[in-house]
Amino acid sequence: MDNNQHELYEYARDRIKQKKQLSIHLILLVIGSLFLFVANKWLSFYPEVNWWIWTSTIWVFIFFFHTVKVFITDSFMNKNWERAQIDKLMLKQAKKIEQLNNDLENAKPPVK
């Protein structure tokens, strides 16, 4: 397997791992929310307050951010994006170094 195929394989493996973790997070969210509901209502754990709604809502927001990270952020900020940004910064640095060298060469010698 050459380097390009290996990078594609690693990227695919990482994406599958991220999506698998997101699925596990969803399953835990559903089971956890049911457990919180049962604890609040049926087991009478502070039954006067519907605290399970607040905790489940917070958990849903965390799941939403996890979903955004997996499907939006990580899908376009991948290795290719990183390489493009590095190349862009390296080119910018090379231009600055070249400009400094040109400035040094064109500078007048000090007067004695």
pTM value is 0.68
Sign of CA dihedral 91, 92, 93, 97: positive
Give the pLDDT of residue 82: 82
Give the pLDDT of residue 5: 85
Give the pLDDT of residue 74: 82
Give the pLDDT of residue 108: 66
Give the pLDDT of residue 83: 83
CA angle 88-91-92, nearest 5°?
85
Give the pLDDT of residue 10: 86
Compute CA distances 69 → 5, 8, 60, 74, 87, whole Å: 25, 20, 14, 6, 24
Give the pLDDT of residue 112: 63
What residue has token string 């400094």? 100
Give the pLDDT of residue 54: 94
- In the chain, which residues have pLDDT < 70? 108-112
Distance spanning both ends of the chain, measured CA to CA: 65
CA pair distance 40, 3, nearest whole angstrom: 54
Give the pLDDT of residue 30: 97
